[in-house]
Amino acid sequence: MNYEDRFRDQVAIVTGGASGIGLAIGQRIAYEGGIVILADINAAGLARAARDDDSSQGKVLTRRVDVTSESDVCDLIDKVLADHKRLDIVVNSAGIVGPTSTNIVDYHLCSFRDVLDVNLVGSFILIKHALSAMLRQDYGRILLLASIAGKEGNPGMAGYSASKAGVIGLVKGVAKEYAHTGVTINALAPALLDTPLTDRISDEQLAYMTRRIPMGRLGTTAEAAALACWLVSDEASFNTGAVFDLSGGRATY
Ligand SMILES: NC(=O)c1ccc[n+]([C@@H]2O[C@H](COP(=O)([O-])OP(=O)(O)OC[C@H]3O[C@@H](n4cnc5c(N)ncnc54)[C@H](O)[C@@H]3O)[C@@H](O)[C@H]2O)c1
């Protein structure tokens, strides 16, 4: 089900928007009337997303951005504000999985740093600079992609699990700093969804993660977009600092 005008006159940035969950969320916000800027490091993926855009109500724009670069993120936000005068929604779906099926003794420090840089430092940079813009208009919705790995930990994925636990802590702490404003900050914690990211997870690791989902299947990007779009809508006004599960029953707390 779509709500035709839910995001009319709203402006959204979706990082990781060239693929998977970010693309599905961005497309749905545009379909429901929003102006969406898909931001991603993958220029070819962005071009494909722009070509495939069939949003009936809103508009999809794209921009190449590396979320680990503070200047890239600041330039993006400045450009959005210059062009559209406001920023209502930021979804951070940029992420990498890093090594899988790799116990910590074999996990290279440089890989650990890379995963933390994209998944956690990128989240820090984005929240920090999006907030400044949103506080000026006293309205905003920030949604970060965490993971069940950050709540429960997945063996063989030290960097990924640690980075997503960090995202959860970031959301919980910073949301309380701004809970008295019109800006909410929440996280989504999927178990396993069928996206190009799962292609980069070893078969052994995938089997472990799928076995732990009581529904016995992977989730879809449409299911992620449905929950995410409610969380970034103005209806979700009493939720901040919360982590929303999307786990087919895997999450136990
Ligand atoms: N798919 C799952 O099962 C699953 C489960 C839990 C959490 N997540 C999280 O959801 C988010 C989206 O995952 P997905 O499954 O859609 O993956 P995906 O690989 O389909 O999409 C991730 C996107 O992030 C982009 N990206 C990577 N590094 C970037 C950077 N430095 N700057 C900007 N963009 C960058 C990639 O180019 C890609 O387009 C990630 O944070 C992931 O950790 C996914």
Catalogue all structural domains in the chain, each as residue range(s) with its CATH number: 11-246 (3.40.50.720)
What spacing in Å lies between the alpha carbon of 122 and ligand 1's midpoint? 12
In angstroms, the CA 8 to CA 153 distance is: 39
What spacing in Å lies between the alpha carbon of 95 and ligand 1's midpoint? 4
The pLDDT profile of the chain, 253 residues, written as one tens digit per residue, is 567 799 999 999 999 999 999 999 999 999 999 999 999 999 999 999 999 887 667 799 999 999 999 999 999 999 999 999 999 999 999 999 999 999 999 999 999 999 999 999 999 999 999 999 999 999 999 999 999 999 999 999 999 999 999 999 999 999 999 999 999 999 999 999 999 999 889 999 899 889 999 999 999 999 999 999 999 999 999 999 999 999 999 998 8
Q: Which of 19, 115, 163 best tests ligand 1's pocket when mutated (most atoms within 8 Å of CB)?
A: 19
Residues with CB under 6 A from ligand 1: 15-16, 18-22, 40-42, 45, 65-68, 93-96, 118, 122, 145, 147, 190, 192-193, 195-198
Q: Which atom of ligand 1 is nearest to the CA of 200?
A: 19
Active site residue 208: no
Which residue has 């009337």 as its token pair?
33
What spacing in Å lies between the alpha carbon of 47 and ligand 1's midpoint? 17
What is the model's pLDDT at position 55? 67
Q: Catalytic: which of 31, 160, 178, 208?
A: 160
Q: Which atom of ligand 1 is nearest to the CA of 67?
A: 32
What is the model's pLDDT at position 3? 75
In angstroms, the CA 115 to CA 103 distance is: 15
What is the model's pLDDT at position 56? 63
Q: Which of 46, 195, 250 best tests ligand 1's pocket when mutated (most atoms within 8 Å of CB)?
A: 195
What is the model's pLDDT at position 52? 84
What is the model's pLDDT at position 53? 80
The 3-class secondary structure across the chain, one letter per residue, is CCCCCCCCCCEEEEECCCCHHHHHHHHHHHHCCCEEEEEECCHHHHHHHHHCCCCCCCEEEEEECCCCCHHHHHHHHHHHHHHHCCCCEEEECCCCCCCCCECHHHCCHHHHHHHHHHHHHHHHHHHHHHHHHHHHHCCEEEEEECCHHHHHCCCCEHHHHHHHHHHHHHHHHHHHHCCCCCEEEEEEEECCECCHHHHHCCHHHHHHHHHCCCCCCCECHHHHHHHHHHHCCCCCCCCCCCEEEECCCCCCC
Contact assessment for residue 227 and residue 246, using Cβ atoms and an 8 Å cutoff: yes
- From the CB of residue 84, how many other CB atoms can be counted at a distance below 10 Å? 17
What is the model's pLDDT at position 1? 58
What spacing in Å lies between the alpha carbon of 98 and ligand 1's midpoint? 11
Contact assessment for residue 183 and residue 244, using Cβ atoms and an 8 Å cutoff: no
What is the model's pLDDT at position 253? 84
